[in-house]
Amino acid sequence: MFKELDPILHSQLRLAVVSLLISVEEAEFTYIKEKTQATSGNLSVQLDKLKQAGYIEVQKSFKNNYPLTVCKITKQGIDAFDKYVSDLKAYLNPK
């Protein structure tokens, strides 16, 4: 019997964002956009979903008079990512 994969992470862009944030301390919106090659609109929607799930923290401020969005993974996000990776492995290599 396969474990159900986390639907929040089972989306290409949200998974890419979480994988990126798990490897760094924190990242600006522009950096995530550049690395995931997503559009601003789509990325904003997906970041919002991850934030609502409690997987990431989003801080909005200003830098040189421009809006600045900084994202950081939460403990809950790290745990969900770990579980997602082990579930994926179990899915691909069933015993």
Residues that bind other proteins (CB under 8 A): 5, 10, 12, 15-16, 19-20, 22-28, 30-31, 35-36, 63-64, 85, 88-89, 91-92
Which of residues 48 and 63 has its CB atom nearest to other proteins in the complex?
63
Select 48 or 89, whichever has its Cβ closest to other proteins: 89
Please, which contacts does 60-68 make with residues 24 or more away whose CB atoms are closer than 8 Å?
A: 68/28, 68/29
Cβ of residue 51: shortest distance to other proteins, in angstroms? 18
Asked if residue 5 lies in contact with residue 91, where contact means CB atoms within 8 angstroms, the answer is: yes
Q: Residue 58 Cβ, how far from other proteins at the closest point, in Å?
A: 15
Q: What is the DSSP letter of 32?
A: H
Closest among 73, 77, 84 to 6, alpha carbons compared: 84
